[in-house]
């Protein structure tokens, strides 16, 4: 705990965000930290709650409640309050390999489950975490720590997203020789090309990659297993293989006119912007540009919001975001009690910026595309939109039904599909011959697939999820691999 009466004495305070007008002119992070002294007061707000739900990591009604990594949150909150930053980073790194990532992109189920949030504002856990890791880097506390002994065992990790990096870091720490294979031109996976730079600057990702390289992890980019490198080659060369390729098959939209040009998956749009930004500051113009276009984003989740923020930075003419579900309530409903994840209306940075630029929230709830219309050259020009009503069917399940006579049209020259992901790409599973479950994820028992010495972790194993779950899966898969290689794990 922090100060016994801290939650009564101090109000929740978070760092300032750069105003929308200024931050829309670039792709830099826009959240400014508190001073170390002010952050210590926030650590003082951690109360002696008896049962710290913040670190529970339970699934309640299908959603995370508390930290899936079981971070020792009350312990490092107390150390923040006391100004013992070096001890705080040691406690934080015991459970989380990459707090610099989670403290930026995690939706903070820990704060949603904070006891202080029952009758007030929760502790600013996410910002406390970020301040711990960033001060540790600034003060030189974080240094390469290669293992003192090597086991001689070799492991190939396929995919360098959060689960692959966590798995590689743990196995390397144990003394195994780890090589991470990444099909893109830069390591980082989702962290590099799936999350926009203004949410997670790529210098932060590269900083961790360089640290892992200094500790002995090898990275091979441009290595597309199953295409330019055979799966059999890895099975011959390595003692174990871990598949951490993510859930990278985007959900498509099967409606008339889908074949029109100008309709892209959100992941391709976001990737092209980040790659162009890193290659030449967007100067070479090789990215999918939203400049001067009426943009339609289909999907109301985090990826859709990222598309909104990115299109605004391109200089789009207008932005509309479709969401099939009804708008959530502004406060918890009676059947959504603490410490469940609060299913309430959230206006994220992209929507906030759209409101600033165009004067209104870009989201239209209970809608879906009925048809796309193209011009004579095949480029999308218009989308016909159905308004939906949700009805309970005979089986008791809810289903959406178009409302007759209420369809409307939207002008659009750029459509971005951000409706989620279906699972991993088929060719990876086929290359290794691993079985899949009913949800198209890789089937595994304790992270081991049906193929000897082949393991899996992350979104490829559990389906599309949070970065914090991917890190947890990577850590647990590493323990399973270590047991397989050594007969036990420490």
Tens digits of residue pLDDT in 178-193:
999 999 999 999 999 9
For position 395, what pLDDT does the model report?
A: 84
Task: Provide Rg for the chain, Cα atoms.
Answer: 23
pLDDT at 4 over 90: no
- The answer to whether residues 154 and 238 touch, using CB atoms and an 8 Å cutoff, is yes
Q: Which of 159, 200, 161 is nearest to 183 (CA)?
A: 159
Q: Which two tokens stand for residue 407?
A: 């369809």
Question: Other CB atoms closer than 10 Å to residue 197's CB: what's the count?
Answer: 22
For position 90, what pLDDT does the model report?
A: 97
SS3 386: strand
Q: Which of 102, 110, 224 is nearest to 165 (CA)?
A: 102
- Residue-wise burial string across 165-175, b where 16 or more C-beta atoms lie within 10 A, e elsewhere: bbbbbbbbbbb
For position 423, what pLDDT does the model report?
A: 84
For position 286, what pLDDT does the model report?
A: 87
Multiple choice CATH, 154-248+422-486, 3.30.930.10, 3.50.50.60, 3.10.20.740, 3.30.360.10: 3.50.50.60
* pLDDT tens-place string over residues 70-90: 999 999 999 999 999 999 999
6-138 shares its CATH topology with 154-248+422-486:
no
CA distances from 485 to 149, 154, 171, 480 (A): 15, 9, 11, 9
For position 119, what pLDDT does the model report?
A: 87
Calculate mean pLDDT across residues 469-480.
98
* pLDDT tens-place string over residues 345-390: 999 999 999 999 999 999 999 999 999 999 999 999 999 999 999 9
pLDDT at 299 over 80: yes
Calculate mean pLDDT across residues 281-304.
93
For position 452, what pLDDT does the model report?
A: 97
Q: Which two tokens stand for residue 192?
A: 């590099």
Question: Other CB atoms closer than 10 Å to residue 326's CB: what's the count?
Answer: 12
d(CA 184, CA 192): 10
User: Which residues, 6+ apart, have CB-to-CB distance to 27 below 8 Å?
Assistant: 196, 197, 198, 273, 277, 313
pLDDT at 438 over 90: no
Averaged pLDDT score across all residues of the chain: 95
pLDDT at 112 over 80: yes
* Torsion sign, CA atoms 335, 337, 339, 344: positive
| Residue 276 Ramachandran class (φ > 0 left, ψ -120 to 50 alpha, else beta) | alpha
For position 3, what pLDDT does the model report?
A: 84
Determine whether domain 252-419 maps to CATH 3.50.50.60: yes
* pLDDT tens-place string over residues 218-251: 999 999 999 999 999 999 999 999 999 999 889 9
Number of H helices, E strands in the chain: 17, 18
- The answer to whether residues 213 and 252 touch, using CB atoms and an 8 Å cutoff, is no
pLDDT at 284 over 90: no
Architecture of domain 6-138: Orthogonal Bundle (1.10)
d(CA 142, CA 169): 14
| Residue 451 Ramachandran class (φ > 0 left, ψ -120 to 50 alpha, else beta) | beta
Domain ranges across the chain: 6-138, 154-248+422-486, 252-419
Query: Which residues face 363 on adjacent strands?
Result: 321
Binned at pLDDT 50, 70 and 90, residue 2 comes out as confident
Calculate mean pLDDT across residues 422-428.
89
Report the half-sphere exposure of 304 (CA within 13 A, side-chain side): 24
- Judge if the upstream peptide bond of residue 339 is cis by omega within 30 degrees of 0: yes
SS3 173: helix
Percent of the chain residues topping a pLDDT of 90: 89
- Strand (E) or helix (H) holding 158: strand 154-158
pLDDT at 392 over 90: no
* pLDDT tens-place string over residues 395-421: 888 888 999 999 999 999 999 999 998
């Amino acid at each position: 705990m922090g100060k016994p009466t801290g939650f009564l004495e101090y109000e929740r305070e978070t760092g300032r965000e750069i105003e929308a007008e200024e931050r829309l002119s670039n792709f830099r992070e826009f959240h400014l930290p508190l001073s170390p002294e002010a952050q210590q007061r926030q650590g003082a707000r951690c109360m002696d709650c008896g049962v710290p739900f913040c670190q529970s990591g339970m699934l309640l009604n299908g959603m995370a409640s508390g930290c899936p990594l079981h971070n020792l949150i009350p312990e490092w909150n107390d150390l923040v309050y006391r100004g013992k930053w070096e001890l705080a980073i040691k406690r934080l790194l015991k459970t989380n390999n990459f707090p610099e990532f989670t403290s930026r992109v995690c939706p903070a189920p820990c704060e949603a489950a904070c006891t202080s949030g029952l009758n007030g504002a929760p502790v600013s856990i996410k910002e406390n975490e970020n301040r711990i890791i960033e001060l540790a880097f600034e003060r030189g506390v974080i240094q390469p720590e290669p293992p003192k002994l090597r086991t001689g065992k070799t492991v190939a990790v396929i995919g360098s997203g959060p689960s692959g990096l966590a798995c590689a870091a743990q196995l390397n720490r144990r003394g195994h020789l780890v090589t991470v294979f990444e099909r893109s031109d830069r390591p980082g996976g989702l962290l590099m090309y799936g999350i926009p730079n203004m949410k997670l600057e790529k210098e932060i990702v590269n900083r961790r990659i360089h640290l892992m390289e200094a500790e002995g992890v090898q990275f091979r980019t441009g290595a597309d297993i199953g295409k330019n490198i055979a799966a059999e080659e890895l099975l011959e060369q390595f003692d174990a293989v871990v598949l951490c390729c993510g859930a990278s098959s985007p959900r498509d939209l099967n409606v008339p006119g889908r074949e029109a040009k100008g309709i892209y998956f959100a992941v391709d749009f976001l990737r092209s912007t980040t790659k162009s930004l890193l290659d030449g500051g967007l100067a070479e113009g090789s990215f999918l540009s939203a400049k001067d276009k009426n943009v339609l984003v289909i999907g109301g989740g985090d990826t859709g919001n990222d598309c909104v923020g990115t299109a605004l930075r391109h200089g789009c003419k207008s932005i509309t975001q479709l969401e099939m579900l009804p708008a959530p309530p502004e406060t918890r409903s009676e059947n959504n009690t603490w410490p469940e994840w609060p299913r309430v209306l959230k206006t994220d940075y992209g929507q906030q910026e759209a409101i600033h630029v165009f004067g209104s929230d870009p989201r239209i709830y209970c809608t879906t595309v009925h048809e796309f219309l193209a011009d004579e050259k095949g480029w999308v020009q218009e989308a016909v939109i159905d308004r939906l009503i949700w009805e309970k069917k005979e089986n008791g399940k809810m289903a959406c039904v178009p409302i007759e006579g209420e369809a409307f049209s939207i002008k659009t020259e750029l459509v971005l599909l951000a409706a989620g992901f279906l699972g991993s790409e088929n060719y990876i599973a086929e290359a290794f011959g691993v079985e899949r479950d009913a949800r198209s994820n890789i089937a595994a028992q304790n992270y081991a697939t049906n193929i000897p010495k082949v393991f899996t972790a992350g979104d490829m194993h559990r389906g599309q999820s949070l970065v914090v779950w991917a890190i947890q899966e990577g850590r647990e898969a590493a323990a399973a691999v270590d047991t397989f290689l050594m007969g036990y794990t420490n």
